[in-house]
Amino acid sequence: MDVEFAYIVMAYIVLVNLVAFVVFGIDKWKAGHRCWRISEATLLMSAVVGGSLGAWLGMKVWRHKTLHRKFRYGVPFILVLQVAIVLYLFGDNLMQILF
């Protein structure tokens, strides 16, 4: 796999995880202030498009959506699936790319 492509993928993953983390925090704030909320579909989609780690950390840090089964089990499942995909795609080159 091309190293330049790997850096683009890593930048995307970092950005989408940051966005997912922030979106969970914004929704938690909106819930406490009785404002218009971010839909659960949008929150889950932020995990599906590559932000599963950020979504999971957002759930833990903000203590948000932790009682909903689709989040409690779905987000970690998506995370494991995405880690497996990254390992499959980058495999042996992962250490070279990271370091």
Quick check: 95 pLDDT over 80? no
Residue 1, both tokens:
């796999």
How high is the pLDDT of residue 54? Answer: 98
> Looking at residues 30-53, what average pLDDT do you find?
97
Nearest to 58 by CA among 23, 31, 32, 82: 23
Residue range of the domain that includes 80: 3-98
Strand, helix or coil for residue 55: helix
Query: Could you tell me the pTM of the whole model?
Result: 0.89
Residue 46, both tokens:
């932020």
> Looking at residues 64-84, what average pLDDT do you find?
96
How high is the pLDDT of residue 1? Answer: 60
* Total domain count, the chain: 1
Residue 55, both tokens:
């979504």
Quick check: 99 pLDDT over 90? no
Alpha-carbon distance of 86 to 6, in angstroms, equals: 10
